[in-house]
Amino acid sequence: MDRPVKPHDTVPATLDASAATLNPSPASSIVEPDALWQELHAAPDHHAPHLGEALVEAGLLRPQQLYEALRYQAVQPEHVPLGEVLIQLGLLTPAQMRQMLAH
């Protein structure tokens, strides 16, 4: 289930494909983050972690928070970097983001 990559598209295709195969109930558009996380880590050709993955691995975000931030980012009319989204949503401070990006 490949989809074209748009310039503002930063949600890994594997994450989108995983969400589509999990068939969430119509009453809830939230998919279990553990299932998405497992699919993301099972992705072929997975090299360097995405920022979101690195933040979860560092314990700065929970998988559910990352998923919600990526969903929020995907519906924005203009591209907003994930780090900026996380700060806007109050999930990270600017200092935490700078520290993470420095590593």
Q: What is the rounded radius of gyration, in angstroms, for the C-alpha atoms of the chain?
A: 14
Residue 40 has phi, psi (to 5 degrees) of -65, -40
Residue recorded with tokens 């989809």 = 3
* One pLDDT digit (tens) per residue for the chain, 103 residues: 455 545 555 555 555 554 455 444 455 566 777 877 777 677 666 556 688 989 999 999 999 999 999 999 999 999 999 999 999 999 999 999 998 888 7
Q: Which pLDDT belongs to residue 24?
A: 47
Find all residues with CB under 8 Å of 53, minimum gap 6, and list them. 40, 66
What SS3 class is residue 40?
helix
For 3, other C-beta atoms within 10 Å of its C-beta total 11
Kindly report the pTM of this predicted structure: 0.54
